């Protein structure tokens, strides 16, 4: 099996969505998060992943020309319904590069729910269900995954940094090979940033199932200086000595590089 190498931190045809598909990702290009500007040239935004909540990470693409349908017809009507069930968007990201794996979205969204039950109730809401066809008509790709975190995790996203979202399916050998990979790759990483592992996401046990759901064994967010640093690292002779250990640890590794979507 051949795969691209990550430091671990195909555009699909248009498909109909099941009712449990994510809500906010459909309009992510039109959304923004309240941010904390530093200076005009370097903005930042802080997001808190709470230990007692459900974290939904959605990957999506929108059909060209249908952004207004989502922004004007769907989003203003669905968001009050989402809020009534305690849901909110924590941040959205524009995909700038796909560095490995089986998905090629245009955007990534982090969404928070009080619980899986609250999310399910929102999707069963009759008013929400009337709006879903607007979203489904506009989307060309959709996947999502569900996580928790062990403790409250504040994340600060910088305008001049790149953020990798990765999902990994581990092999039986990973128990030994993955720690060995981290140890051997530590030195070469120092020359390329180094990349920072800023969030560990724990896949939700007994979460939603379906063709649109990603169900990895491991996931997280990595901060890079830029995507060029990533490619510099994986082509570094010292890192290439560690790469086989990573390959032995994963059967699949999806990685997308993104930029935080600040308000225009």
The arithmetic mean of pLDDT across residues 27-33, rounded, is 43
Q: Is the per-residue pLDDT at 99 higher than 90? A: yes
Give the pTM. Answer: 0.85
- Give percent of the chain with pLDDT exceeding 90: 77
The arithmetic mean of pLDDT across residues 2-16, rounded, is 44
The arithmetic mean of pLDDT across residues 89-117, rounded, is 96
**Domain 25-31+48-260 = CATH 3.30.70.100:** yes
**pLDDT for residue 11:** 37
Q: Is the per-residue pLDDT at 12 higher than 50? A: no
- Give percent of the chain with pLDDT exceeding 70: 84
pLDDT band at 172 (very low <50, low <70, confident <90, very high): very high
The arithmetic mean of pLDDT across residues 246-259, rounded, is 98
Query: 10 Å Cβ neighbour count for 55?
Result: 23
**pLDDT for residue 71:** 81
**pLDDT for residue 41:** 64
């Amino acid at each position: 099996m051949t795969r691209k190498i990550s430091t671990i931190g195909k555009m699909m045809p248009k498909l109909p969505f099941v009712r449990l598909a994510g809500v906010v990702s459909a309009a992510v290009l039109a959304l923004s998060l309240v941010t904390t500007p530093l200076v005009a040239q370097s903005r930042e935004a802080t997001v808190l992943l709470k230990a007692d909540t459900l974290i939904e990470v959605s990957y999506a693409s929108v059909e060209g020309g249908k952004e207004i349908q989502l922004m004007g017809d769907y989003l203003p009507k669905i968001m009050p319904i989402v809020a009534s069930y305690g849901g909110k968007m924590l941040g959205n990201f524009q995909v700038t590069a796909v560095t490995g794996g089986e998905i090629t979205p245009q955007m990534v969204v982090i969404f928070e729910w009080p619980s899986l039950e609250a999310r399910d109730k929102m999707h069963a809401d009759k008013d929400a269900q009337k709006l879903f066809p607007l979203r489904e008509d506009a989307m060309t790709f959709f996947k999502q995954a569900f996580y928790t975190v062990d403790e409250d995790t504040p994340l600060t996203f910088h305008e001049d940094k790149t953020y990798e979202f990765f999902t990994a399916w581990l092999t039986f050998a990973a128990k030994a090979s993955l720690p060995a990979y981290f140890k051997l790759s530590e030195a070469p990483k120092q020359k390329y940033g180094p990349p920072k592992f800023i969030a560990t996401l724990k896949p939700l046990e007994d979460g939603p199932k379906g063709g649109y759901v990603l169900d990895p064994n491991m996931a997280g967010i990595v901060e890079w200086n830029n995507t060029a640093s990533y490619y510099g690292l994986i082509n570094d002779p010292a890192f290439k000595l560690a790469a086989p250990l990573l390959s032995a640890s994963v059967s699949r590794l999806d990685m997308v590089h993104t930029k935080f979507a600040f308000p225009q």
